[in-house]
Amino acid sequence: MPGYRIEVIESYEMISASLRNELSQLKKEIGYDIGTLFDNGASLWVARLDDKVAHIAWTQTGDKVGRYFFPLTSDYIMISHCCTLPAYRGSHIYPVTLTKLVSALGRRGNKRFFVACSDCNLASIRGIERAGFRLIGRGKVKRCNRLIWYQKVRAGFPKYHASDIC
């Protein structure tokens, strides 16, 4: 994909002023507080197309996620809070980003990856499957003891063997 690059940001302090400005303008699309995710040990992956933010995704090791429909440990990576910006939807940047971040983390030694999205988010489900993940389960997301949505959990990366991504 010409003009495509991806960067990982490990802490709020590492965000450049220009990216901070871009993310604040995208607050409506993103819909969550990035500071809280950093505080919980998450890393931000920013995919740019022609130097503009096109997609963001977050990763956390399982020990920082805790119980997520099933127990996760430090050798698991949870991919979550993914968002493709409206101007880039339909361009397949989501599966490309998933593939790239899994490959980068695979080179660091990680081998187990999970990504979750709500059952009603068909576009995300297609992107997740296009990236090679497969459905492994379904969980309930509750807030204030009220069912908010069902969430499908996918694991992967079945297209590749661990030796291919390390």
pLDDT digits (tens, 9 = 90+) for 52-86: 999 999 999 988 876 666 677 888 898 988 999 98
Domain extent, residue 71, equals: 4-165
The pTM for the full model equals: 0.81
Q: What is the rounded CA–CA span in Å between residue 95 and residue 74?
A: 24
How many distinct structural domains can be found in the chain?
1
Q: What is the rounded CA–CA span in Å between residue 143 and residue 95?
A: 29
Q: What is the rounded CA–CA span in Å between residue 82 and residue 124?
A: 9
Each of the 166 residues of the chain gets a pLDDT tens digit; together they read 778 999 999 998 999 988 888 888 777 777 777 888 888 899 999 999 988 999 999 999 988 876 666 677 888 898 988 999 989 999 999 999 999 999 999 888 888 888 878 777 889 889 998 998 888 777 766 655 555 445 555 665 544 333 333 2
Domain at 34, CATH number: 3.40.630.30
